[in-house]
């Protein structure tokens, strides 16, 4: 099935169709025709929608939180978050991950070994604080418990950076 399927005229029989009806029927794109007339010219792309900023920030938050939880679990290297987190947040996350590793090797506690394992981001909420500054919260569930994560995102040089990361 092709992406663009021509819509046939409502009248039956090709002798009743005029040239104009036939042209309009072949140019109409059913994917764009949801309550409005969308014309598609062969060889051109339909117009792209602008991305909703909150949807973009929700996706950034979800990915960053998931990656941070994987760093704490010891299954992702910290340097993979260097482009997204500012240096202070990166240092804090690295310090927390090293404390978890040190305590795990010191005590050998199996419950501590399960901490942050199989983390899944359940929900993300984003709220605008000011122009170019957003705050987001996420609920993360792992093998041991559910926890909250708070993030502050700021736009700098057309890139979103995490300037605050608090993991509960």
Q: Show the DSSP H helices in the chain as ranges.
A: 19-27, 53-73, 87-107, 110-113
pLDDT tier, 108 (very low <50, low <70, confident <90, very high otherwise):
confident
> pLDDT, tens digit, for every residue of 50-88?
468 889 999 999 999 999 999 998 899 999 999 999 999
3-state secondary structure of 167: strand
pLDDT tier, 3 (very low <50, low <70, confident <90, very high otherwise):
low
pLDDT tier, 94 (very low <50, low <70, confident <90, very high otherwise):
very high
| Mean pLDDT for all residues in the chain | 79
Q: What are the b/e assignments for 92-105, b being 16+ CB within 10 Å?
A: ebeeebeebeeeee
Mean of the pLDDT values across residues 128-156? 93
How many contiguous H segments (helices) and E segments (strands) does the chain have?
4, 4
pLDDT tier, 111 (very low <50, low <70, confident <90, very high otherwise):
confident
Query: Does pLDDT of 134 surpass 90?
Result: yes
Query: Which residues are CB-contacts of 146 (< 8 A; sequence separation ≥ 6)?
Result: 122, 139, 140
- Environment class of 80 (CB within 10 Å of its CB; exposed 0-12, middle 13-18, buried 19+): exposed
138: left (phi over 0), alpha (psi -120 to 50) or beta: beta
**Angle at 46 (CA atoms; ends 132, 63), nearest 5 degrees:** 40
């Amino acid at each position: 099935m092709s992406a663009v399927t021509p819509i046939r005229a409502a009248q039956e029989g090709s002798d009743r169709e005029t040239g104009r009806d036939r042209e309009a029927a072949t140019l109409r794109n059913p994917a764009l025709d949801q309550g409005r007339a969308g014309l598609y010219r062969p060889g051109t792309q339909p117009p792209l929608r602008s991305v909703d900023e909150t949807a973009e920030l929700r996706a950034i938050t979800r990915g960053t939180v998931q990656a941070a939880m994987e760093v704490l679990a010891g299954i992702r290297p910290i340097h993979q978050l260097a482009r997204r987190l500012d240096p202070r947040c990166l240092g804090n996350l690295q310090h927390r991950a090293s404390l978890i590793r040190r305590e795990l090797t010191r005590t050998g506690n199996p419950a501590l070994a399960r901490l942050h394992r199989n983390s899944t981001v359940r929900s993300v909420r984003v709220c605008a604080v000011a122009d170019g500054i957003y705050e987001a919260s996420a609920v993360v569930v792992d093998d041991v418990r559910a926890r909250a994560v708070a993030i502050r995102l700021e736009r700098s040089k057309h890139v979103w950076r995490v300037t605050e990361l608090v993991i509960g």
